[in-house]
Amino acid sequence: MQITRRRFLAAPAALSVALLPTSLLAAVEAETAPTPDLSTWESVRAQFALDPAWMHFASFFIASHPAPVQAAIEGYRRAIDRNPFVTVEHGMFSEGADNLHVHVQAEIADYLGARPQDVCLTGNTTTGLALVYQGLPLKAGDEVLCTTHDHYSHHESIRLAVERSGATMRMVPLFEDAASASIGSIIEALLKGIGPRTRVVGLTWVHSSSGIRLPIREIAAALRARAGQPLLLVVDGVHGLGSTDQTVATMGCDYFCAGTHKWMFAPRGTGLVWANAENWARLRPLIPSFTDLDQYVAWERQQAPVSPTTADRMAPGGFHAYEHQWATAAAFRMHRQMGRARVAARIRALNDQCKAGLAANPKVTLHTPMSAGLSAGLVAFEVQGVAPAEVVKQLLARRIIASTSPYAITYARLAPSLVNTDEEVERAVRAVREISG
């Protein structure tokens, strides 16, 4: 008997086929409001149910679901609640256009400039990084090189992986002061840090410590051009995806991990890893997949799969909050409608305004580069004589939501994004001026 995707982890096919809506996607779309007008920033802001009593400058932490995403979640939730078995069995395991997992991969791939089958759906950046580092065939004697600037999730993903494999990890600084770093100095510091045992390099695209945006494309080219052993480049891209006009799949990194619940406005609890087929094939899966038919068929025969590892095989299986996972497509569609370049230009303009305003204050030290080429949507700063936590507290008292960076050396952060206005940025800058005395 031929095994189809539908049979994969599913109950008898005949039962579900008889109960199926013609197209789950079409049925959900017919029930949801038409795509809103997103041609002005005011209309984009109107999609968010954010409390207007506050100025939200920490949206990069975790997003408020905009209306199209909320509507998609609600549509899928209603469908699942009406008929959990048929909806999930159909949405996950059917062939062709009705497979919502494949639909989400296709929407994401369009944005990344990638092939849909190379997009692995995860729950967040952390899970993606852990899957990649645990999946790499590291062995004793190998070294993973990362930087002193990376996030807890990145460092710990490496540490836990090298602990198991007998490999080692090492961190190098790429700069002393992010604000004065240049593309050349960053590349030079990284190349100098590479040792004879380095096999993997882990970097962060936009640093949530200082707000610097690494020139990943240039770094990847420099890594390729150097003599010596080939290296794999793993990128934590969470704060660049959705804030920067880059085609991720052509940037030159080997593994790109990001949550989509921050700048992309996809549902909370969603994320992705992208790699090409050759790099997926290097990895050893960690968690049984529910989306890789080969693995399932091999299991039925009590064998290990013989085909190479793919994005689908790396995707953590078990049943998920599917209304959230499937509604990821709506967020990527929303970004396509707004336009990646237009979104990036807006974020750049608001951040330029914020940086210029803060830089004009002699009591403020800006840690984010002024150059738009080396920054994105995060502005990290210090106020002379006022601790970062105190700056954030005093901003909060003025109904301005900022944050401190969760690193050993911490700064205050403002992150102007699509939910903010020029006027709000001006008010935040003015508030910092008041706090600085």
Ligand X SMILES: Cc1ncc(COP(=O)(O)O)c(C=O)c1O
The letter for the amino acid at 436 is S
Q: Of the two residues 6 and 268, which places its CB atom closer to ligand X in the complex? A: 268
Amino acid at 47: Q
Minimum CB separation of residue 5 from ligand X in Å reads 29
Binding range to ligand X, per CB under 6 A, among 123-131, 159-167, 187-195, 300-308? 123-131
Type of residue at 193: G
Q: What are phi and psi of 400, to 5 degrees?
A: -110, 120
Please identify, among the stretches 91-99, 120-128, 346-354, 428-436, the one whose residues bind ligand X according to the rule CB under 6 A. Answer: 120-128
The contact pattern for ligand X, residues 271-310, with x = CB under 6 A and - = no contact, is x---------------------------------------
Closer CB to ligand X, 59 or 124, in the complex: 124
Q: CB 205 → ligand X: shortest distance, Å? A: 8
- The least CB distance from residue 262 to ligand X, in Å, is 7
Residue from 32, 47, 204, 436 that binds ligand X (CB under 6 A)?
A: 204
Round to whole Å and give the CA distance between 78 and 323: 9
Q: Which residues from 143-162 bind ligand X, rule CB under 6 A?
A: 151, 153
- Strand segments, DSSP code E, in 37-98 are 55-56
Is 94 near ligand X (CB under 6 A)? Answer: no
Residue 208 within binding range of ligand X, rule CB under 6 A: yes
From the CB of 208, what's the least distance to ligand X, in Å?
3
Smallest gap from Cβ 415 to ligand X, in A, equals: 11
Answer for which of 92, 121, 238, 383 binds ligand X (CB under 6 A) is 238
The 3-state secondary structure of 293-346 reads: HHHHHHHHCCCCCCCCCCHHHHCCCCCCCHHHHHHHHHHHHHHHHHCHHHHHHH
Of the ranges 17-25, 109-117, 122-130, 333-341, which one interacts with ligand X (CB under 6 A)? 122-130
Q: Which is nearer to ligand X, 83 or 148 (CB)?
A: 148
Name the residue whose CB lies closest to ligand X: 259
Q: Are strands 198-204 and 232-236 parallel, antiparallel or unpaired?
A: parallel
Q: Which tokens belong to 2?
A: 């031929």
Number of residues that bind ligand X (CB under 6 A): 12
CB 121 within 8 A of CB 104: yes
Q: Crossing angle, helix 84-93 and helix 67-82, to 10 degrees?
A: 120
Among 87, 125, 279, 351, binds ligand X (CB under 6 A): 125
Instruction: Examine residue 124 and tell whether it contacts ligand X (CB under 6 A).
Output: yes
Would you give the DSSP letter of residue 46? T
In the complex, least distance from residue 227 CB atom to ligand X, rounded to whole angstroms: 31
* Tokens of residue 398, six digits: 């003025």
Nearest to 242 by CA among 419, 32, 100: 419
Q: Which is nearer to ligand X, 279 or 403 (CB)?
A: 403
Among 437, 435, 432, smallest CA distance to 359 is for: 432
Taken in order 419, 204, 147, 133, the sign of the CA dihedral is positive
- The distance of closest approach from Cβ of residue 154 to ligand X in the complex, given in angstroms and rounded to an integer, is 6
Residue (of 410, 414, 420, 417) closest to 396 by Cα position: 414
Question: What sections of 247-310 are H helices per DSSP?
Answer: 277-282, 293-300
State yes or no: residue 122 binds ligand X (CB under 6 A): no
Q: Which of 47, 94, 126, 295 binds ligand X (CB under 6 A)?
A: 126
Q: Pick the stretch among 45-53, 235-243, 299-307, 317-325 that binds ligand X (CB under 6 A).
A: 235-243
In angstroms, give the least distance from the CB of 108 to ligand X.
15
Q: Residue 271 CB, nearest distance to ligand X (Å)?
A: 5
Q: Which helix (H) or strand (E) holds 100?
A: helix 100-112
Rounded CA separation 3/31 (Å): 33
Closest by Cα among 108, 91, 109 to 100:
91
Cβ at position 358, least distance to ligand X in Å: 20
Binding site for ligand X (CB under 6 A): 124-126, 151, 153, 204, 208, 236, 238-239, 259, 271
